[in-house]
Amino acid sequence: MVTRTDHWLEKLKSTDGRVTDARRAVVDVIVSSPRPLTPVEIFDAARKKHLHLGLVSVYRTLEKLEELRLIQRVHQEQGCQAFLRAGVGHQHLLLCERCGQAVLFDGDDLESLFSRISQQTGFEIKDHWLQVSGVCAECK
C-alpha cells in the first residue's frame, strides 16, 4: 500500500531530492495531521520517530515541500507560521475555531464579485485568498 507519505517522498526524489529519515519523519507528521502545525510542533512530533532530528531540518523540509506545493502556509490571528497539506486544484480552507481541524473545500464562485470590484476600482484582479472559520460538527 502506497501511503501519502510515500507519494510525497517520491515527489521529493523526482526533483533531485533524497529520501532521508529526517524527511520521512517530518512528512509523516504533516501528512497525518488534521490541523495546521507550526515548525516547532512538527519538530516535537517528528522527534519521536527520528530521535536526533534537528529543528533546522524541519525548516528545510518545509521549504522543499512548499516549493513542491505539497504543503501550504496557514494564516491565523495568532500567527502565520503553521503549515498544512495543500489542497488539490483550487480550494480554500475552513478551520474549526475550537479544535483547529482543517477542511478544504472548493467550488467557490466569486467571479461576479470580482468583476464588480474591478469596475469600481480599476484593478485587474489576479488572485484571491479566502479562509473561513467556524465550529466543526464534533465541537458543536
Partner DNA sequence: CTACTATTGATAATGTTTTTCAATTATAGG
Partner DNA sequence: CCTATAATTGAAAAACATTATCAATAGTAG
Give the integer Cα–Cα distance in Å for 35 and 133. 13
Of 28, 53, 29, 31, nearest to 42 by C-alpha is: 29
Interaction with Zn ion in 74-103: which residues (CB under 5 A)? Answer: 96, 98-99, 101
Interaction with Mn ion in 89-128: which residues (CB under 5 A)? Answer: 108
Stretch that binds a second copy, among 13-21, 34-42, 48-56, 118-126 (CB under 8 A): 118-126
The site map against DNA for 39-68 (x = CB under 7 A) is xx---------x-xxxxxx-xxx-xx----
Q: How long a stretch of residues is the chain?
A: 140
Of 71, 56, 72, nearest to 22 by C-alpha is: 56
Which of a second copy, Mn ion, DNA, none has residue 50 at its interface (CB below 5 to 8 Å by kind)?
DNA
Helix (H) or strand (E) holding 25: helix 21-31
Is 90 one of the binding residues for DNA (CB under 7 A)? no
Instruction: Write the CA distances from 96 to 23, 69, 85, 124, integer angstroms.
Output: 28, 23, 16, 33
Of the pair 53, 93, the CB lying nearest DNA is at: 53
Q: Which of 11, 38, 87, 92 binds DNA (CB under 7 A)?
A: 38
Which residues contact DNA by CB under 7 A? Answer: 12-13, 16-23, 38-40, 50, 52-57, 59-61, 63-64, 81
